[in-house]
């Protein structure tokens, strides 16, 4: 599949997921900014995929990424970030969202699992109450948070590329 075909609107995604559900597939939703894709992101997405049959990744829009990360971010626009995430083999579908969290996507998509990275615990996931109410399992996946875009940018500014 061409990676551009993996990037869908919410409406397109809902239709596609209905087809997967009809075949008994377990749907996983992961999300993030993914500004400068790094090994931590890839491990997070691989871990999320292991939780089900179909992995949907919600990428923050430019406006929501800026609100979360501050001035100067994101470095890459939402289309570029969505394309990079779509190119990861573990990812089935990508959608861009413009909210501070993915509560509305949990409501709209009703995944079986909501995957979050190891910088969260089950009690700190912002969408935990919505997930609980909808019967969506939360999975903390990926390797310990030793990789971040913020750290990578700091190293690049310092000239420390090793």
More confident residue, 40 or 128: 128
Residue 40 CA to residue 146 CA, distance in Å, equals 8
Instruction: Tell me what pLDDT residue 158 has.
Output: 75
SS3 22: helix
Structure tokens at 6: 């993996």
Residue 3 CA to residue 83 CA, distance in Å, equals 7
Q: Is the pTM of this model over 0.85?
A: yes
Q: Give the pLDDT band of residue 152 (cuts 50, 70, 90).
A: low
Instruction: Calculate mean pLDDT across residues 63-77.
Output: 92
More confident residue, 153 or 12: 12
């Amino acid at each position: 599949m061409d990676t551009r075909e993996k990037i869908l609107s919410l409406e397109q995604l809902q239709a596609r997921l209905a087809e997967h559900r009809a075949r008994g597939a377990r749907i996983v939703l992961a999300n993030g900014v993914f500004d400068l894709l790094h090994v931590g992101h890839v491990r997070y997405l691989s871990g999320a995929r292991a939780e089900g049959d179909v992995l949907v990744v919600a990428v923050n829009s430019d406006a929501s990424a800026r609100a979360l990360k501050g001035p100067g971010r994101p470095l890459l626009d939402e289309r570029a970030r969505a394309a990079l995430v779509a190119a990861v083999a573990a990812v089935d579908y990508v959608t861009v969202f413009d909210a501070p969290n993915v509560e509305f996507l949990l409501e709209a998509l009703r995944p079986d699992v909501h995957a979050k990275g190891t910088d969260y615990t089950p009690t700190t996931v912002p969408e935990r109450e919505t997930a609980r109410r909808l019967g969506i399992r939360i999975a903390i996946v990926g390797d310990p948070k030793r990789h971040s875009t913020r750290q990578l940018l700091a190293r690049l500014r310092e000239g420390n590329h090793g």
